[in-house]
């Protein structure tokens, strides 16, 4: 039986009178890649931020890695935050720091880690993210969008997280760069046993990378399941998204692309 690493129950999020989530339930299992989809403004990023501890819910419970975010102590939340990694759309790097310095930053929270070990670990994560060794000395402004994303990924992986949160990892990448990023995510999840919470609009990514999909609509998780199950869901947005011409193209693409375990 798969272990639940994220358990969300009765979640409510709102900004003033604008209710984004209401009665939202979700389970995420250890080692899976969960793709979170939904229309623009359906609350995918807000859900990611709430689970990752970057913002507090108005009501409901969020339990991650056995820690309830409302009853946990500050110390427990600090330990929990070191067990997850978050990669934002544009990498969210500090522009005044080199890539290596950006990746080293989370490692500074590890007590008694010698500076040379920290540097070596940062370089390791940079190469795991598919960047050349030399990229470590570059500043974010000197990198392409795709390289910045990989640098953001390297930083998210710095502390060997158990859960990786990715917000639109392939947005803005050309199709070849996006496919390469999909392959990298799949490889990392399989080799490191990572659980991945992946917010995306990219149908190719859903087909290539995700074990299960969660669809956000009507302020909650409408349905979860493997991508093939989505074709049977009787809901206008789900049908339009998963049965439209782009979905058909993604299915055809993936049929000709070997899925790497």
Query: Is residue 17 close enough to count as binding ligand ATP by CB under 6 A?
Result: no
Piece in contact with ligand ATP (CB under 6 A), picked from 1-9, 39-47, 126-134, 188-196: 39-47
Binding of ligand ATP at residue 41 (CB under 6 A)?
yes
User: Taking contact as CB under 6 A, which single stretch among the options 36-44, 103-111, 116-124, 150-158 is the one that binds ligand ATP?
Assistant: 36-44
- Which of the stretches 33-41, 69-77, 112-120, 185-193 binds ligand ATP when contact is defined by CB under 6 A? 33-41
β-strand 212-217 against 220-225: which pairing, if any?
antiparallel
Q: How far is the CB of 15 from ligand ATP (least distance, A)?
A: 3
Residue with tokens 């990498």: 91
Taking the complex as a whole, how short is the minimal distance between the CB of residue 230 and ligand ATP, in angstroms?
A: 17
Q: What is the strand order of the sheet 18-29 is part of? A: 18-29, 4-15, 59-64, 67-68
In angstroms, give the least distance from the CB of 53 to ligand ATP: 15
Three-state secondary structure call for residue 94:
coil
| Selected range binding ligand ATP among 37-45, 58-66, 130-138, 153-161, rule: CB under 6 A | 37-45
Which residue from 229, 211, 199, 254 is spatially nearest to 33, judged by alpha carbons? 211
Contact 42, 21 (CB under 8 A): no
Q: Does 42 bind ligand ATP (CB under 6 A)?
A: yes
Q: Under rule CB under 6 A, how many of the chain's residues touch ligand ATP?
A: 10
Token readout for 60 is 């409901």
> To the nearest whole angstrom, how small is the minimum distance from the Cβ of residue 217 to ligand ATP?
10
Q: Which pair of tokens denotes residue 188?
A: 């990392």
How many Å apart are CA 62 and CA 133, to the nearest integer?
A: 39
* DSSP string for 197-230: EEE---HHHHHHH-SEEEEEETTEEEEEE-HHHH
> 38, 91, 106, 161: which one contacts ligand ATP (CB under 6 A)?
38
Least gap, CB of 20 to ligand ATP (angstroms): 4
Q: How far apart are CA 136 and CA 100, in angstroms?
A: 4
Minimum Å distance from CB 242 to ligand ATP? 16
Binding residue for ligand ATP, selected from 5, 6, 20, 126, defined by CB under 6 A:
20
Pairing of strands 84-87, 163-167: parallel
Stretch in the footprint of ligand ATP (CB under 6 A) among 38-46, 61-69, 121-129, 145-153: 38-46
Please report, as ranges, the residues that interact with ligand ATP according to CB under 6 A.
15, 20, 38, 40-46
């Amino acid at each position: 039986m798969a272990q639940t690493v994220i358990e969300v129950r009765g979640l409510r999020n709102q900004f003033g009178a604008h209710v984004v989530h209401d009665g939202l339930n979700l389970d995420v299992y250890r080692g899976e890649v969960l793709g979170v989809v939904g229309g623009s403004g359906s609350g995918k990023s807000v859900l990611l931020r709430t689970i990752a501890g970057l913002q507090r819910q108005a009501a409901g419970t969020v339990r991650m890695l056995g820690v309830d975010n409302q009853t946990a102590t500050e110390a427990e939340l600090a330990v929990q935050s070191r067990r997850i990694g978050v990669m934002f759309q544009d990498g969210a790097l500090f522009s005044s720091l080199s890539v290596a310095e950006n990746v080293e930053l989370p490692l500074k929270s590890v007590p008694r880690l010698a500076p040379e070990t920290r540097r070596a670990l940062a370089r390791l994560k940079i190469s795991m993210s598919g960047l050349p060794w030399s990229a470590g000395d570059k500043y974010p402004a000197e990198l392409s969008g795709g390289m910045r994303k990989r640098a953001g990924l390297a930083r998210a992986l710095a502390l060997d997280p158990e859960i990786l949160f990715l917000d639109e990892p392939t947005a803005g990448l050309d199709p070849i760069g996006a496919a390469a990023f999909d392959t990298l995510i799949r490889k990392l999840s399989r080799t490191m046993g990572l659980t991945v919470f992946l917010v995306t609009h990219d149908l190719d990514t859903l087909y290539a990378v995700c074990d299960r999909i969660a669809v956000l609509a009507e302020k909650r998780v409408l349905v979860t399941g493997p991508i093939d199950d989505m074709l049977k869901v009787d809901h206008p947005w789900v049908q339009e998204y998963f049965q439209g011409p782009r979905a058909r193209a993604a299915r055809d693409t993936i049929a000709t692309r070997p899925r790497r375990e």
